[in-house]
């Protein structure tokens, strides 16, 4: 009887230092990791039937992360994609979620945050089982927002600038900054990509109509 192969985490990043540190981190907790410095090299080597996920830099010379993700979809490979980026502006985050990203983590990332995301991606069943609880928690956070904070939430995840939101709501930019900080705290969002993902998960915005 064949012994099933250990799940693998493919790591794709053109920054050699970041690539090495990510692989070291994953291997330090017993995960199998395979490094690649380009999307094309990863696509040529990845095993379409092996249990796996990919930690994928979104901005790389040549073939960027979104193009790599598209190539996986065209080949019928459905492994979870965890994007990492030091340039997580709203349009890029929206495009990533629109095309089915599992997660989006900003660099420099918290090590435990990345490990948690990878573990959940590899054990997809467990992540799905906890989806109901996560939705209930998200709903509770949304209900904790004041009406004015909810007014700020939607423009924020749609990529409006502070000045644009100030003009829209008839308040000062400083007031918008205050509300923005409160929204991030109440929603327990570490970064803007988290908030965008929450808004999409809660059905507040349609990713197909964003960006």
> Domain for residue 50, yes or no?
yes
Query: With contact defined as beta carbons under 8 Å apart, do 50 and 78 qualify?
Result: no
Residue 108 pLDDT grade (very low, low, confident, very high; cuts 50, 70, 90): confident
- Boundary (domain end) residue, out of 96, 129, 162: 129
- Domain of 74 in residue numbering reads as 8-129
> Domain for residue 156, yes or no?
yes
Please tell me whether residues 142 and 102 are part of one structural domain. no
Residue 132 has pLDDT above 60, yes or no: no
Domain count, the chain: 2
> Domain for residue 177, yes or no?
yes
Please tell me whether residues 42 and 119 are part of one structural domain. yes
Task: Output the pLDDT for position 28.
Answer: 93
Residue 207 has pLDDT above 60, yes or no: yes
Q: Which long-range contacts (CB under 8 A, 24 or more apart) does 98-105 make?
A: 98/207, 98/208, 98/210, 98/211, 99/66, 99/69, 99/70, 99/73, 100/69, 100/73, 101/69, 102/53, 103/197, 104/193, 104/196, 104/197, 105/193
Please tell me whether residues 86 and 40 are part of one structural domain. yes
Please tell me whether residues 27 and 91 are part of one structural domain. yes
Share above pLDDT 90 across residues of the chain, in percent, rounded to a whole number:
32
Residue 101 pLDDT grade (very low, low, confident, very high; cuts 50, 70, 90): confident
Residue 41 has pLDDT above 80, yes or no: yes
Residue 194 has pLDDT above 70, yes or no: yes
**What are residue 103's DSSP bridge partners?**
82
Task: Output the pLDDT for position 85.
Answer: 86
Please tell me whether residues 148 and 180 are part of one structural domain. yes
**What are residue 82's DSSP bridge partners?**
55, 103
Residue 93 has pLDDT above 90, yes or no: no
pLDDT tens, residue by residue, 55-88? 999 989 888 899 999 999 888 888 999 999 887 6
> Domain for residue 1, yes or no?
no
Say what the pTM is. Answer: 0.70
Closest listed residue to residue 11, CA positions, set 21, 1, 47, 48: 21
């Amino acid at each position: 009887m064949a012994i099933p192969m250990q799940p693998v985490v493919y790591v794709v990043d053109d920054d050699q230092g970041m690539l090495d540190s990510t692989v070291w981190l994953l291997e330090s907790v017993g995960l199998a990791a395979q490094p690649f410095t380009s999307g094309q090299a990863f696509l040529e080597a990845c095993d379409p039937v092996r249990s796996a996920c990919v930690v994928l830099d979104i901005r790389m010379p040549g073939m960027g992360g979104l193009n790599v993700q598209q190539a996986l979809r065209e080949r019928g490979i459905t492994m979870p994609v965890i994007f990492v980026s030091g340039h997580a502006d709203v349009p890029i985050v929206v495009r990533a979620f629109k095309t089915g990203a599992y997660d989006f983590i900003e660099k420099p990332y918290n090590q435990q945050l990345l490990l948690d995301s990878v573990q959940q991606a590899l054990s997809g069943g467990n992540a799905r089982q906890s989806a109901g609880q996560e939705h209930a928690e998200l709903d509770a956070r949304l209900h904790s927002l004041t009406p004015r904070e909810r007014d700020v939430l939607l423009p924020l995840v749609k990529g409006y600038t502070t000045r644009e939101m100030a003009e829209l709501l008839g308040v000062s930019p400083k007031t918008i900054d205050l509300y923005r900080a409160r929204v991030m705290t109440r929603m327990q969002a570490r970064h803007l990509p988290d908030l965008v993902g929450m808004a999409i998960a809660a059905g507040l915005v349609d990713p197909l109509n964003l960006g």
